[in-house]
Chain A
Amino acid sequence: MSEEIKISIFEVVGSPLCVASGDGQKVYDRLKVALEADREIFLSFHNVTTLTSAFLNAAVGQLYGPFSEEKIRSSLKVVDAEQDDLRLLKRVVDNAKRYFNDPERFNQVFQEIMEDEDDEV
Chain B
Amino acid sequence: MRFSLPQIRHSYSSFETLAYLYTQTREYILDDIEIYMGETDWFDADMCAAFGAILYSLGRRLNEVSLIGIPQRVERILSKNGFLSHYGRARIPDQYDTTIAYRRFDVEDDHYFANYIESELIYRSEIPEMSPALLKKFRESIFEIFSNAVLHSKTDLGIFSCGQFFPNRNRLDFTVADLGVGILQNIKENIKEYAELKLSPEKAIAWATEEFNTTKRGKLPGGLGLKILCDFIDLNGGCIQIVSDAGYWQRRNYKIVTKRLSHPFPGTVVSVEINTADQHSYSLASELTPEDIF
Contact = CB atoms under 8 A, between A and B. Distances in A.
Given A86-B288, A106-B213, A19 B207 contact: no
A114 B12 CA distance: 22
A72 B290 CA distance: 13
Nearest to B259: A121
Interface in B206-262: 206-207, 210-214, 216, 219-225, 228, 250, 255-259
Contacts of A76: 294
B6 to A, nearest CB: 18
Of B136, B258, B292, B293, which is in contact with the most chain A CB atoms at under 10 Å from its CB? B293
Nearest to B147: A54
Interface string B108-144: 1011001000100000000000000100110110011
Contacts of B256: 119
Contacts of B287: 83
B203 interface: yes
Contact of A53 (B144, B203, B206, B288): B144
Interface residues of B, number: 56
B28 interface: no
A105 B197 CA distance: 17
Contacts of B203: 113-114
A50 B221 contact: no
A62 B110 contact: no
A27 interface: no
A88 to B, nearest CB: 7
Interface size class, chain A: 35 or more
Nearest to B223: A95
Contacts of B220: 21, 57-58, 61-62
A112 B207 CA distance: 9
Contacts, number: 149
Nearest to A66: B219
A110 B207 contact: yes
A20 B210 contact: no
Given A90-B293, A96-B221, A107-B193, 5 more contacts: A20-B150, A61-B221, A90-B288, A109-B212, A112-B210
Interface of B: 12, 108, 110-111, 114, 118, 133, 136-137, 139-140, 143-144, 146-148, 150-151, 191, 193-194, 197, 202-203, 206-207, 210-214, 216, 219-225, 228, 250, 255-259, 282-284, 287-290, 292-294
Query: Shortest 7 CB-CB distances between A and B: which pairs?
Result: A20-B110, A54-B147, A99-B221, A53-B224, A19-B143, A78-B290, A73-B294
27 contacts: A15-B111, A19-B140, A20-B111, A21-B147, A53-B144, A54-B143, A55-B147, A62-B220, A73-B294, A76-B294, A83-B283, A90-B292, A90-B293, A91-B224, A91-B228, A92-B224, A95-B221, A98-B212, A100-B221, A105-B213, A110-B197, A110-B207, A113-B206, A113-B207, A119-B258, A121-B250, A121-B259
